[in-house]
Structure 1
Amino acid sequence: MKKHKTLALIGAEVGEGASDSGCKLGAQALRDRGLAAHLAEPHRDARWVDMVRARPEDQPQARLDSVEEFSVKLASVVRRQLQQGAMPVVVGGDHSCAAGTWSAVADAWRDKGDIGLIWIDAHLDAHTPESSDSLAPHGMPVAALLGHGSPGLTSLYGWKGKIKPGNLVIIGARSYEPAERALLESLGVRVMYMPEVDRRGFGACFTEALALVRQRTVAWGLSFDLDALDPADAPGTGTPVEAGIALVEALQALRGHAADPACVAVEVTEYNPLHDVDGRTAESAFALLSAFARVELREQALAA
């Protein structure tokens, strides 16, 4: 069996994007718990390569400035790992880190084509500074990646529109404001709101999403906010929302997709160890990443 890409774990130590900054502690907590060893397999190495930390701030505009600075630093680390042939695994941290992660991925692949992104989240994260009452940057990364919002988030690497609307699918949304939904609808982004996920099943939704994000792209990735899960499986997030995706369904659907040559990065965000219960959310994060990164099961399925 061939050797697969190294999983390059990158800690996104940022909580300045959220009202509750406890997510800043999430990456280190998962590192201390042994995430790299848990993900390592005979045919795939997993190792921590960097911990990127945001400048502490507590005022709204200063927090946005901090996140913008952080995004540049995180993007640089992610892009370097891509250039070295590894698969970046970004571990957050609040979800504002996605602006840096996926800007780096998009820029790395820009000469070859567009990238696709599956975004699994209880929220739409499609605010701009003009539409957000709180100015919390973790509510802005989707809009920023689509080219809308603060230039410090939209224009990393000097260009906007890192993700085209037709190459983005959001799954599991159930807490959002009208302005966010209006922006995504105006752009034609496919959003599978939680009622649709309940009706069809997460597996069917993920299969459709994967087909969509691979259709017109050269590479794709996954950004998974732990608050997409039901709080019974993931109580330790900054903004839990009731009636979410069951962990068992997510594990079944995600299993082995990192072995797809077109899959180039994965991100898990919003782990807040200060709110976790008996390590339940940490275990869910371990399980999600382990399922996604499994080599043998995916190869067997492809060969069948």
Structure 2
Amino acid sequence: MEKKPISIIGMPMDLGQGRRGVDMGPSAIRYASAQSLLEELGYEVEDIGDISVPSPESIQIGNPKLKYLTEIKDVCEKLSETVSSVVERKRFPLVFGGDHSMAIGTIAGVAKHYNNMGLIWFDAHGDLNTGKTSPSGNIHGMSLAVSLGIGDPDLVNISGYAPKVRPENTVIIGARELDPGEKELIAQLGIKVFTMHEIDRLGMGRVMDEAIGIVSHDTDGVHLSLDLDGLDPKDAPGVGTPVPGGITYRESHLAMEMLAEAGILTSAEFVEVNPILDRENQTAKVAVALMGSVFGQKVL
């Protein structure tokens, strides 16, 4: 990957899910020495701080089918503007989170600079619910649907355009817990999903070869949205919605190493690190180690 200068943005978002603590994710990732690792790899790195997010205690939950909708919309607009300004300065936006609803803002900020952006969604979940299909009303389970132009208009039209990405340019890797409405949408849109069944059966190398081929075909940029719950909880315990039987630590590194070799990424975010649920900052350390592989760190 070209050593484009990197801008770190913190997104202490915890409005999109039901378990507190994920707002401390950006601090945990920073504490795990993300910036110094990237600088050791030869990158020029700036940290432009955190987007301001109101605490759940200070606001009303609103519509139980779309919890904290207004506030999530507002902070995702701010994140979108910040990410967009980073891209305009010819820098690589690297966003630390925060719950996965923040991807609505990140993707809105980067996709406006590309005619046809590819998207890798590394996650145990599909995040393809809407207010009508979500069992919880938590918007972190709707962020991919929103980015595809499906869902509440206030979220879909953030930054004034929709959709941000197309289903044929989107790949989900690591899925193992999908709601009925999400399965229907996957079938309807033809989204390529590599569940844990495919990863077990084909191996991560072949999965990534196919995924890279899809997201780089006729695209002019690729975004990585990596939810730490994509990994097995044994390796990444500090997440709000852990699902057993996930991607191993080593498989995750291989995936990131292959992305680095392909040289296709133009932006990335690492989300759902929850220090309250973690052990000795293990999950943030995993996130930083995976960043190392994304940005070209090798064993030899």
TM-score by length of 2: 0.93
**Deviation sequence 1:189-229 (CA, Å, 0-9, x none):** 11111111111112221221111000021111211100000
Letter in 2 for 1:7: I
Q: Corresponding residue for 2:33?
A: 34
**Deviation sequence 1:134-158 (CA, Å, 0-9, x none):** 2101000110011001122211222
Q: Corresponding residue for 1:6?
A: 5
> 2: CA distance between counterparts of 1:180 and 1:3?
36
> 1: CA distance between counterparts of 2:68 and 2:253?
34
Shift in Å, 1:33: 3.2
> 2: CA distance between counterparts of 1:83 and 1:197?
36
- Give the direction of change, closer, same or farther, for the CA distance of 1:176–1:83 in structure 2 (3 Å limit): same
Letter in 1 for 2:184: A
Matches within 5 A, 1:174-253: 174-253=176-255
Letter in 1 for 2:73: E
Tell me if structure 2 keeps the 8 A contact 1:117–1:213.
yes
Letter in 2 for 1:180: E
Shift in Å, 1:253: 2.5
Q: Corresponding residue for 1:160?
A: 162
Letter in 2 for 1:227: D
> 2: CA distance between counterparts of 1:281 and 1:198?
23
Tell me if structure 2 keeps the 8 A contact 1:121–1:224.
yes
- TM superposition outliers: structure 1 runs of 4+ over 6 Å: none
Tell me if structure 2 keeps the 8 A contact 1:50–1:77.
no
Tell me if structure 2 keeps the 8 A contact 1:4–1:259.
no
Is structure 2 residue 105 aligned with structure 1 residue 105? no
Matched position secondary structure for 2:210: helix
Letter in 2 for 1:235: P
Alignment length (residue pairs): 294
- Give the direction of change, closer, same or farther, for the CA distance of 1:293–1:131 in structure 2 (3 Å limit): same
Contiguous gaps of at least 5 residues in structure 1: none
Please say which of residues 78-87 and 150-159 is displaced more in the overlay: 150-159
Contiguous gaps of at least 5 residues in structure 2: none
Shift in Å, 1:50: 2.5
Q: Corresponding residue for 1:94?
A: 99
Shift in Å, 1:262: 3.8
Is structure 2 residue 65 aligned with structure 1 residue 63? no
Shift in Å, 1:3: 7.4
Letter in 2 for 1:72: E
Shift in Å, 1:260: 5.4
Matched position secondary structure for 1:224: strand
Please say which of residues 32-41 and 125-134 is displaced more in the overlay: 32-41
Q: Corresponding residue for 1:81?
A: 86
> 1: CA distance between counterparts of 2:249 and 2:45?
23
The RMSD of aligned alpha carbons is 2.0
Please say which of residues 272-281 and 39-48 is displaced more in the overlay: 39-48
> 2: CA distance between counterparts of 1:194 and 1:223?
18
> 1: CA distance between counterparts of 2:41 and 2:124?
35
- Give the direction of change, closer, same or farther, for the CA distance of 1:193–1:60 in structure 2 (3 Å limit): farther
Identify which of structures 1 and 2 has the higher relative contact order when contacts are C-alpha pairs closer than 8 Å and 6+ apart: 2
Matched position secondary structure for 2:290: helix
Letter in 1 for 2:242: P
> 1: CA distance between counterparts of 2:105 and 2:150?
15
Shift in Å, 1:42: 5.4
> 2: CA distance between counterparts of 1:32 and 1:212?
35
TM-score by length of 1: 0.91
> 1: CA distance between counterparts of 2:261 and 2:210?
18
Shift in Å, 1:133: 2.8
- Give the direction of change, closer, same or farther, for the CA distance of 1:54–1:258 in structure 2 (3 Å limit): farther
